[in-house]
Structure 1
């Protein structure tokens, strides 16, 4: 909802957090591990001899015997990894915990006034084309970015060709109970209710760029805070970006890489405009994505797509 100051405010409608357990550790997600120390529900995890829970890549091996997610008792392994297909915890095992137990949650998280929204971040799992971070030029361009969110299909998906893009606009397909074209229009309409200087800024992030050898270039996890720092600076009006064909991107050196094993060349690679890749992206959106919404697709999004095509030359 909009406040008297013209800014958009949000109220958290949820009481807790849930997440996938395997791969969660003190190293990958310290705050999650702190949040689930008590009052937590676990599903399809392994059970230790002393009644605790365990999963693959939790950060330490288990001892003695474990009851796996199928109810079988087996000897624990000397590492926190298991051969594929022999996991003690189901690969999609989950935890859910009260939000108030998260050490990083804002003091105002239950304030009925809500908290002002400074930025929206969208993102998908893309090994190429989409840069580490870019910012929309304006609100409608940001809605366009949200509408094209997608992730590259892996061998785990059976219904689409590997390497094709599964679009999930605004990451809302599983949750939107009405036509997504109308959902897009709702976002467009929100942008008309305030001024550009008071509307949240919109960013698109991609932590999953890979090099030619198939290795992730950006370390991800907690290091993503370095990108967030740039985003915070943008919200504060700092001049740390350059305008490109796809939107605003960090100036050289604007993202702090001190202490990271990421070279200047690699940063340049994940913060550059892949014009040919974006042209293929445009073709996929125009031929395979936007036609799904028929006459419910807002004209502003078609205009944004056309503008992007023209800017790429």
Structure 2
């Protein structure tokens, strides 16, 4: 059958593993619109997962990886390799609620655009129904979703990235819970007798969010964040809008557990833009004797107030979706051991001649011959990378050898410190503690990374990325910053300290001043001791910085002069920076909170630049 008419929809839904009217109504509505050949409810079982994987192998979409157990490799269409920010929309009722950083289309207008695209979009394909929960079903405020998709690759990936299947559906039924409606199609219907391609997608792409409806519709892409709708779409864009309404935070942050030699434990959340080492920090192996770091999450943190007034963070994800290039035993041995444990889905990396995977940075030396992500022969003399720069490993978080046992706590862990950090050659010191919560929000609002044109040596462009959430804020950025300030004004709140770090400052000869990677544990030690009140700090125009000898550099080939330069606050650099910050706030417009504009004036005064 090529068309699923209403009678067949009703017939297949009679066999659904639920009697929940909301669930059945949603699935029925989308099936009637998209007309798939078949409906399959995902139960999360190994047997069903293996059956779906086998179909994908037969279709040529994935292949088994030799050398890593229970793992698969997929190569996407070359036009479908990353998130498409230009085709990502926040469809709030009021344009003001989308703000200056989001693309906006009125919900009614977007639905008029999407309906014809989705009409018959699953013809010739199977519709998979994936019930899932972000975080735990046992949480005080469980957050459910149901994704319908015509991509079996998405099914396999969602089984890694979110708690999916019968566990989630049973909880939705038992709690009669609301859920976020997630609708996804690759946009490649098949006519009768038409042969499929290995990676179906469409040149027309829409990734759309309806904050008031708590719904996500994605069309045309089978890749990552465009198609795994529990990830950025739900866990950040929709969840941030829910968090605004309910008084909590949905953030693009890692969660890390630190234990000092005396056994005292503190939990840290940290936000970094891409290419700033967030996953490496989430899995750091401290170089200081007696200190221990454990992972709770590498990408997303949901923080809610507990009864004691502290912010408790939970990682809503079930897996890691990491950028492969640059991940290796020298940069992130913990991630490598997690990958080795198996159950991975690799996308757009390279293949070795014996059917294993490889990417730049996995080993110090590249193999003599590879098949690159486009399927072409590759040697170390080739002038293109073997793996796509945004190639990914999708890996169960349970594989992480340093996973903290508290990861299973449905209501999370109390956060004592929040770190913001970007990649800056100048201006930003190695570490500074902000003066108070509002000052910390200010520092987060101007979070930035610098790009450089290495070939010409040109100074790079500073790109602002507030709280590392620029692509993921589900509403107006000014309202988002006001929400952060409001969180700080919550009655009875025991707020975390906020710090700003910069591992990437350069010396005059363009060398890095700080060794970075595992040595960042030395900065974490100072942060920990500031939280526990056991480390001194000195006032600076930017906040509080380590006193002389306050940063543990024992055993490090690192001079006092290098440290002084890494921590320096130079008024001449900040004169330029303040101008850039004012330009940034002007770009954001009137919605920037007055408290943050006042912070600019106060900082100018403290720097003697008023």
Q: TM-score if structure 2 supplies the norm length?
A: 0.48
1:243 alignment partner in structure 2: 539
Q: What's the counterpart of residue 300 of structure 1?
A: 595
Q: Any idea what the Cα deviations from partners look like across 1:215-247, whole Å, max 9, x if unmatched?
A: 111111111111111111111112321111110
Measure, in 2, the Cα distance between the counterparts of 1:274 and 1:104.
39
Partner of 1:165: 462
Determine whether 1:289 maps to 2:579: no
Structure 1, gaps ≥5 residues long = none
Determine the structure 2 residue equivalent to 1:265: 561
1:118 maps to what in 2? Answer: 416
Report if the CA contact (8 A) 2:535-2:550 is conserved. Answer: no
TM-score (norm: length of structure 1): 0.91
For residues 432 and 308 of structure 2, the distance between their equivalents in structure 1, rounded to whole angstroms, comes to: 27
Alignment of 1:46-85 (within 5 A): 46-63=350-367, 65-75=369-379, 77=380, 85=383
Where does 1:26-175 land on structure 2 (aligned, <5 Å)?
26-37=329-340, 38-63=342-367, 65-75=369-379, 77=380, 85-155=383-453, 162-175=459-472
SS at match of 1:289: helix
Alpha-carbon distance in 2 for matches of 1:194, 1:238: 27
Equivalent residue for 2:513?
A: 217
Q: Cα deviation per residue 1:175-212 (whole Å; 9 max; x = unaligned)? A: 0121100000000000011457x201101110100111
Q: The residue matched to 1:108 in structure 2 has which SS? A: helix
Q: Hey, what does 2:16 align to over in structure 1? A: none
1:153 Cα shift? Answer: 2.7
User: Which residue pairs with 2:502 in the alignment?
Assistant: 206
Moved more, 177-186 or 8-17: 8-17
In structure 1, distance between residues paired with 2:364 and 2:508: 32
Residues 49 and 64, structure 1, Cα contact 8 Å, conserved in 2: no
Deviations 1:231-267, CA, capped at 9 Å, x for gaps: 1111111232111111010111111222322211010
Compared CA separation, residues 177 and 277, structure 1 to 2 (3 A): same
Q: How many corresponding residue pairs?
A: 301
Judge conservation of contact 2:431–2:502 (CA < 8 Å) in 1: yes
Structure 1 runs of 4+ off > 4 angstroms?
Answer: none
Contact 1:48 1:62 in 2 (8 A): no
Identify if the C-alpha distance between structure 1 residues 126 and 72 changes in structure 2 by more than 3 Å, giving closer, same or farther. same
C-alpha distance in 2, partners of 1:120/1:24? Answer: 25
Q: CA RMSD in A?
A: 1.8
Q: Report which structure shows greater RCO (CA 8 Å, sep ≥6).
A: 1
Structure 2, unpaired ranges of 5+: 1-303
Distance in structure 2 (CA, Å) of the matches to 1:32 and 1:239: 31
> Residue 180 of structure 1 corresponds to which residue in structure 2?
477
